[in-house]
Structure formats: structure tokens, C-alpha cells
Structure 1
């Protein structure tokens, strides 16, 4: 049915008022039965349950299968039924064991407030072994310990990278406090300590740059020129006849034929025996001297111990350096570099906050902190690559033909 929407009597036809009418009916019902619910107090609406028993207990479920009335009259208790054969006897025993186990598992002990579930108050820990206490307190038997050692421990063990928020081995604070020497009115010692740190950092940078320059530096006298290359190429081409003849003469003079060994120069058997005896004596003396040195090393135990301690210290220092180096995971090809601290010279120091000049940049500080905590990777400002050839501009013919 159609109606005119510009008439007031037809406005109600297009508005759904069912929710409003339901709400009004509900309010009228509440007014009839003792007043509106929203105006009542808590103790008028709710009642505290004071009955004994656990509120969270589920209602007892009814058995799925009900016994017939005939069976109840004939056999009031099903446990009194005796099995006819051995096979049925074993079946009844298994069924009873299963039912007792289910009954035990179904019972839940209510834990005492403020105490753990597994704590036994009557447990004497002084007169028992640790294994027995662990079995009673933690309910661990040999099978559970075996599975933990072989299989379960590897699965339950928490990964190391989850111990820290961002996966860094040593935790880094989000906001690190500045050095006390960076204060507007620091003590003399703190300010000098900060100046020394920055001095060492700058000197290290200068030393690195000097090392690179020394490695790159070349001697201008050693650089090959066009003239030196031509001389090398021309060597031996001109005026080489006399030199070659001189060289041949020298070679002829240098060649000498060894004369045959005479029988008089040969060693006799007596001489050979004497030399062998002397060699054996030298070997024996050397062995005796080495043994004496080993015996005297007992009196040098203090020096050996000090050397061992020094080696251990060096090893610890290397280990600490390696840990510092491996602290941050590699997220990009660029290494993280600590930014320079804001340092004021002694001449620039001011004793009041009015004369203080602001230094540093808060956004840069937060950006570096994110890099240090490995939230974002370290980056560098993009530099476009240099062109090998210059850009060549050329007018097109079609453009050149246009004349205004």
C-alpha cells in the first residue's frame, strides 16, 4: 500500500517502534514489581550465598544408561555379581581398577589459601634424601626425571633470545643517563673525566686516519713516468755487442773445473771413530744440560704461576671484548657507532641556567637509542653514485624546426 510521505498522519508508517514499546513495557513491569532496577542499591539486587560447598563445582552428571527395574530387584548391587569363568573374572578386575582410578582422578583437593597445592605440611625434610623429597613435593618419579633429562628438558627450556626484550644479549636501557660531567654545573673531576673520554675518542679517530694515509701514500720518485718506461723498453737494443763480449769473457773466467780428490785427503777409520765418539759425547752433554734445566725449573714455580695469571687475565680481557663485540646482532651492512657526547670546554661553562645554551638534538638521540637497542637497523645517508660521463643535452630536430 502506498501513502503520501508529506502528510503527518503517515509519518508513523515508516518508523519502527517495536524496541521502544518493548522497553516501555519492561519499565512498567519493573514499576509494578517494586520499582526501577537502575534506581535500586546493590544489596537490594544481590544476595550473598552463605551455604557450605564449592561454588565452582559442576552439577553431578546423571548416568547415561539407567538400569532396568527388573535388574534392580534381582541384583540390587552390581558388585555382588560373581564371574562365571576366569576370563570374565579378569575383565571384572580390570573394570574395577579402571573405575577406582577414574574416581581418584575426579577428586580435586581444594588448595589452602596462601599455600601451594603440592606442599605437604607434615613433610620432614631433614631426615630424608633429596630424591624422596622431590618425589613427594614435586611428584617426580624416575620416569619423569628420565624424560626431562632426555626429551622433555629440551622442549620445556626457554629460548635465550626471549629473556631480553629485543634479543640483545646484554640489556640496553631505553633512556641512558648522561655523564655527570655533561651537567650545567658539574664538579671539576667529572668534567675532566668527560673531557678525557672525548679526547681519547678523537685521538683514536686521528690515528686511524693517519694510518690510512700512510698506507695510501706513495713516493713521487718511485712513480713510473713515460721516460722511465721508454728507458726500460730500450734497454739492450743499442750498443749491446761490447757488453755481451765482456760478459762471455767473464763467464769463461768464472768456470773452473774441480781437481780430483787425492787419496791423501781421505779420512781414515781411526779419524771417523774419533769424530763419532765426540758427537756422542756432545749429545750426552746436551741431554744432561736439558735435565738439569728441568730440575732447576722447580725453583721457578712462582714465576710460572705469575705468567699463568697474566695469561688468564689476557684471556678474560679478550673474552670481555668479544662479548662487547657480539652484544649487538648484525641487522645491516653498516656498523653501529656511538655518537659524540655534548661537551663544553672550561671557558664555555656557565654557572646559571639563564646563560646556558641548548646543545644536542632530542630526535637524533632517540634515533640512535632505537639503533642501539636493535629496534631499527643502522643506516647511512644515501649518496647517489658519481656519473662516469657528463649528461649531454641536445636539441631535437622537431623542436628546432618550430619558429615563433
Structure 2
């Protein structure tokens, strides 16, 4: 059977779009690809010289082929070998860099005009410096002095017991204030550290150790012991009274409701506002509908102007009211002259009231000075006073039982004197709750 060749299809290449679509550019792409490969790898091997492809080995190899070196020599060779991490930094192509000369951004000093640079150099030689240049020079000198005076590690040449602080006898004068002394020292190359004023003040006026109540002794007198017990009883009564008050205004205020009453109240609350049929409401609506008189919400207003007589009378009334107000004011001024005693009494009572208020504020201020300040979210809780009942008193130090804790007492004293912030004993640390669950693919079906 004779093979029939298919007739080659002819297409139109009139436009650029059809030309690009039907033109065969495989040979051009292949040529360009070979060209790029040659640029990357260099000159083709077919065009290179033998001297470029082959090298004559003239060196003698004393080491026998196939002999293994020792472990030490292998490690040394690996150490001297170039790390593989630096291979990425090497060029992986033979194509030269298209930008042979890279541009570098010049500094502001380099961008200046040569004439301007020459003028600035002459100005600096003459000692004419700008303010920012003076500040920079001073800061540089201070940094250099700090660097030199910095303690060097391992330097034990100085004896700290022999060094004595240098005292400025001229500056230690009653005529110079602290700001003047600090300014003088700073400008003469020396410095004096300013100690905060709070370091000279105690955080609280309370004493470090307070004398205990005489009734807490192991062998107290009868009166002292009774005074201590009465004070503790009064404090306990006050606490009980507060608890009863809280119960009265919270728990006892609300009565118990039965289930039936609760359900009824719930139904009434839900049905509030719903339409309910009632005869009274229908009668009221009928009465409203049958009312013959219909009143407008916003009735029309007549535009009736006032007559001249009405305007004159209105003006006379205003003038009369002003005249009466002035006469009343004059009468009050005359009457106030005879009220000097009353005014004096009012001023005296006002001054007395201000004095009482001032004394009250002073007492409050004195009381607040003894109270602990708010240092954090917790409030200071005073420790419970230590006491013993009459039957627990032994009469001798040897037979008495230990009462109180010295460490706890000192800790509470530090909190009360605003040295430590109030804290609470945390017995259990709150850990983050992690939700645990079984993955669906790990579940084992029971059925």
C-alpha cells in the first residue's frame, strides 16, 4: 500500500499575532540556549586549545596509591580544607559582572564643595567652633575620661583603704546652695551625685520596735491583764457586729419563696404587657369614641397684635418693676448697716467652723502618718494581738508556753512601716488549665 503524504496546511501570516502563532522558532531558541550555556561554562571544548584542556603532571608522588592515612592526618586535612558553607559565596558562572564599577553613596563630608571644606578647616584651626561641635568635643572628652577611669578587670594596684575622698573646702560653705556647688563642680571637670531627698526621710514615723502591752507579760499585774482582755473583747464584739450587719442586709433581707409562688411570679413577669381582655377597658374605649367634643393637640394661634394702649401699659409696668427693685436694694443697704452684730456673729461662726475643719484635717493627717500606705493591691492586715487567759498564766518564764512568732512579728512590722509591700501566703500555685481530649483517629470504638 502506497503511503499518502498529508498535504501541508497553509495558514495566513498576515498579522503579527498570526505570525507569532504559526512561525517555528525552535531553531532560534536552541541556538540562544547553546549561546547562554557557552557564556556560563566558557568557550566550548571543541574550540579550546590542548594546553587549556590538559595538564602535564611533572610532580613526583611519593605517597603510594591506595594507602590510607592515619586518623590524625585525616582530621588535619579536614581542618585545612575549605568549609562547604563558603561554596555559595563563590561565583558559579563564567559570565562576567555587567556592572564593572559600582557606585558608592558619598558621605555628607565628601559631597561638600572643596572650597567649603577648606573654609571649614581654616575656621576650626582658628578655634571658631559651632555650638554642636563644642558639645561634641565636650562629650568626647567626658567619654574618654570615663573610659580611662573605668575599673579594669584584674587590676589590683590601688588600695581602697588608702584612698580618701577629696573634699572641696572652699565649696563647703553655708553661703553656697547645693545647686551652685553642683554647677561649679560640673564645670570644673568634677561631679557630685545628687542624692534623692527620699533617702533622708523614713517611710514611716512608727518606731522599729514597739513596746508590747504590759498585759502580754508572762507574769502581768491584774489590772494590765484585764485591760488587755477587755480591749481584745471589744475588738471581737466589733467584728461580730459587722458580720451580723452584713447578714441582716444580705441573707436575712430576702425571704424564702416556695416553688408555686416562684412559678406564679415567673408567669406574671412573662405576661406583663400582653393584651388582656377586660370589660372595664372596653367601656372606657367606647366612652372615648362617643365624645362629641374633639380637642386638637396643637390648636391654631390667632395673630392678634397689641394696641397702643396695651403697649403703653406694658411699658409702665416694666418701669415700675425696675423702680421697685432699686428701692428694695437701697432699703437693704440701709438695713445692712444695722446688721453689723449679725454679720460679726456669722463671721465668728464661719471662722470657728473653719478652725474645727482645720483641726479635723490635722488629726486625719496625723492618723494617716501612722497608718500603712497603699503599696500594692493588697491591704495591710494587722496581726492578731497575743494574749493568754488567766488559767494559762504560769507565773514563771520556765513554765510559760511559747506565744507568738518573732519572725512573723518582724515581717509584719516591716509591712506596717512601708518597707515591704503587703503580701499573702500562696499555698497553691494556679496552673494553666490544659484541655485534654482524644483525637478522633485514636478513639477505639467499643461496639
Tell me the TM-score normalised to structure 1 length.
0.45
State the TM-score, normalizing by the size of structure 2.
0.41
- The higher radius of gyration belongs to 2
